[in-house]
Each structure stands twice: as structure tokens, then as C-alpha cells.
Amino acid sequence: MNLPVAIIIIISFVVVAGALTLAGFVWAVRTKQFSIKQLNEGAKLIFDDEEPIGTPQDMIFQKPSNGSANHR
């Protein structure tokens, strides 16, 4: 197989793959796979009531104010 044939094959691959990807993307948008809600809220998935947004975790190096490890 020489170079021109190889290039034709590669370009066909890319075109087909690209078309399939585009089709998948269009399908996803049409059938509302990606809701605006998910895009806006998705980042909040890792938080919950016990570890809400705004509460930092893992403050091991935090110096307690009265020298005890128990509370600030």
C-alpha cells in the first residue's frame, strides 16, 4: 500500500469518525441529554448537606487558638 492510498484511508476514517461524533452530539442536544440544569449544577455534585459549599475541608495545619487540637 503506498502513501496516497494510506492518506485516503486516513481521511475517510477521520471524516466518518467526525460525522459520527457530530451525529452523536446533535442527537445528545436534540434529546436533551445535556440539560442546562446539569451543566450549571453538575459542579455541585460533590457537595451535600453535611459538607456544603463554602465549608473548606482538611484543615489539618490549622492552628487551634487555645493550643488544643479539639477546637479552634
Partner 1 sequence: MAAQTTAKEQFVSFASEAVEDVSERQHRVHIDDSVTSPVVLYFATGIAWLVLGSLAGLGAAVKFNLPDWLGGTPFLTFGRIRPVHLNAVMYGWASLAGAGMVVWLTGRLCRVPIQKTWALYVSAILWNIGVLFGVVALLFGYNQGMEWLEFPRPAGGLIALGFLFFAYSIIETFRKRQVEHLYVSMWYILASMLWFPILYVVANLGIYDGVTEAAMNWWFAHNALAVWFTPVGLAGAYYFIPKVIGRPIYSYYLGLLGFWAFALFYNWNGIHHLVGGPLPTWLVTVSIVASVMMFVPVMAVAVNHHLTTIGHFRMLKYSPTLRFVVFGSMSYTAVSFQGSIESLRSFSEVAHFTHYTIGHAHLGVYGFLSMILFGAIYYIMPRIAKWEWPYPKLIKLHFWMSAIGIALYVIAMCTGGWIQGTMMNDPSLPFIASVNATKPYLWARSVGGTMMLIGHLAFAYQFILIIYRSGPTRYVPAWFELRQASGSEESKPV
Partner 2 sequence: MMFIRSFIFFLGVLAALVLGWAGLVGLPNIMISEVKPPKGLERYTYEQAYGRSIYIREGCLYCHSQQVRPVGFGADQERFWGRPSVPADYVYDKPHLLGTMRTGPDLFNIGARQSSEEWHMIHLYNPRIVSPGSVMPPFPWLFEEKITAGPDDKVVALPDSVAPKGKVVVVTPEGRALIAYLIGLNHTYPVSQVSASNDSTKKK
Nearer CB in complex with partner 1: 30/71: 71
Residue closer to partner 2, measured from CB, 4 or 67: 4
| 10 to 1, 7, 17, 63: CA distances (angstroms) | 13, 5, 10, 60
Cβ(44)–Cβ(53) under 8 Å? yes
CB of 48 to partner 2, least distance (A): 22
Residues 21-40, interacting with partner 2 (CB under 8 A): 21, 24, 28, 33
The CB-of-46 to partner 1 minimum distance in angstroms stands at 6
51 close to 57: Cβ distance less than 8 angstroms:
yes
